Amino acid sequence: MEKRKFIAELIGTFALVFCGTGAMVVDQEFGGAVSHVGVSMTFGLIVASMIFALGDISGAHLNPAVTISFAVAKRFPLKSVAPYMLAQSIGAFAASGMLRLCFPSNEFLGATMPAGSEIQSFIFEVILTLILVMVIFNVSSGAKEKGMTAAIAIGAVVGLEAMFAGPVCGASMNPIRSISPAIVSQHTEHLWIYITAPIIGALLGVFLHQQLVLKNDTQH
């Protein structure tokens, strides 16, 4: 795999975790200055920004569940899955480490936590990631792959889902976005949800995309 793709995924995932979970930390540390809506917008805008900045280099996956889904759909080389996930992990842990350095007394560092039962958050995370991956696959094919369509659509979905589901489950949709703050803050008690549910949701999203979109294309 090209080194620049590895570096792009590292930088993009660092930016996602630093800005997204950083918005949560800043909101806690400064008396709600960012607000829930602000945190949701931050996640959506940083995803859109990184797709604009890095999409042409690495595809700006920034998410192991997305990388796995592209590989399963045979739209991404299997040999590049592990390097992409390593780059995403390094970027995410660097971001959480930087936030720990800046806010040493913050308890969670933006880790995702269920507000209600674990099964409630599990179901939410599966459905949220399914919707996200269906959108990603539809805007990352054909002529739509370049330009602003993908960045705006994907960023909008991330912001939308964080807006309404954040209070329920944290709206992770991304294993590494949850793993790094959980481990750095030592709050791993619910981490299994945020590793398994997004991957299951992503695979279901691939399946639905193939059933609905690809079969529709072959009928024309």
Q: Domain-by-domain residue ranges, the chain?
A: 3-218
Q: Angle CA(23)–CA(65)–CA(109) in degrees, nearest 5?
A: 25
- Domain at 3-218: CATH architecture: Up-down Bundle (1.20)
pLDDT of residue 144: 44
Residue 163 makes CB contacts below 8 A (sequence gap 6+) with 36, 37, 40
Per DSSP, the three-state class of 219 is: coil
Confidence of residue 204 (pLDDT cuts 50, 70, 90): very high
Proportion of the chain above pLDDT 70, given as a percent: 93
pLDDT of residue 91: 98
Alpha-helical runs (H) found in 59-147:
64-72, 81-102, 118-139
- pTM for the structure as a whole: 0.95
